Structure 1
């Protein structure tokens, strides 16, 4: 079965006609901002999708994750029609449709990784320039960690950040 891409207007019409809206992002992303009525089923949990024949509209943040996993999404929908919200929740918001935002939730883990890694690289460069050349090693260490995370799919910094007190909240 194939997956059809829908504009936010067409996706909303499908949802209003009874299609199930499925957010494939991670729970921390869903807790921070979501489309009302969407159920959160990250890619690893798609097997939990009820097989009741209802059409399914899948979405992520920008549409890239859903497009990259279209085959898996079609399989998860079974024999029901499967759709992807073109442009994801970002396009939904740009079309003027409401989202449920909870800014009290922490930033998504990967955004925290990006902020932390970028800050450590800049810190390493500045310390290397103004204090001692050995501090360039900090930037090299962070860069190596990012390469390792990209090639293996395991990010030590993300696991460390998940233990921080601000990330211990229960997701909505």
Structure 2
């Protein structure tokens, strides 16, 4: 139930040619409290309810609980969510022993592209592909829950 991940900006679109899957994701948040978030997500033909705890100081580790729900239930719950939704396409790209998930955002977050890699240990080494940009792990403004409150298009 622990999620260990690192997050990065993406420099260019070359990751798209390496992608092994591509799915649209729509998600909202029932709760964006700093101590926990409760997310509703429709990913392709599946839907999930996810609870995430507060990250450690480095922003790399936090508790994550997720359960699959019906798309119909997710659509009903999305109507109850706090203002702002995330609309993005997720690409999965294998790089050596890891899978990078690259999210290309749309709507109020258009222009933002982020990559995440999940790790087994906080300091686990991994190969960085050439399209990977600056690391933003732990930078709260890049959390999806915060992008619903202050979208990328409004940043100065």
TM-score (norm 1): 0.24
Q: Return the structure number with greater helix share.
A: 1
Q: Return the structure number with greater strand share.
A: 2
